[in-house]
Amino acid sequence: MSSLYVPVGYQNGSLTSAVPTWLNKGDNAWQMIAATLVGLQSMPGLVILYGSIVKKKWAVNSAFMALYAFAAVILCWVIWAYKMAFGDKLLPFWGKAGPALGQSYLLAQAGFFSFF
């Protein structure tokens, strides 16, 4: 088959790459899998740990407190920590906090390239 039907970003030796050279699909996939596994094991583990420490009548309450803590962390990550980690830098080791759901920020992160 000719390379006419293959987008420019996927052609070997193309001058304009759709993916930056520093972006490795394997590294990103492993980071997402590892974070998912940690999240999946942390929630039940904390519920069992906290449920076994407190009295029996407070076990459900402590389980829900652990659930609320995880929900609060997810909200904080979306509201300001993601942009602080992957957005513009304030200092060499500290980023500018802000919501990561704005259209202008998401479009800037996507980095559109022309495939023609």
For residue 114, what pLDDT is reported? 39
In the chain, where are the structural domains located?
23-110
Count H helices and E strands in the chain, helices first. 4, 2
Query: What CA–CA distance (Å, rounded) separates 83 from 80?
Result: 6
pLDDT at residue 21 in the model: 67
Q: How far apart are CA 42 and CA 36, in angstroms?
A: 10
**DSSP-based three-state secondary structure for 91:** strand
pLDDT score, position 17 = 59
CB atoms within 10 A of CB 83: 21
pLDDT in tens, 15-52: 555 666 666 777 778 888 898 888 788 888 888 888 88
Q: What is the pLDDT of residue 115?
A: 42
Rounded to an integer, the average pLDDT of 61-69 is: 88
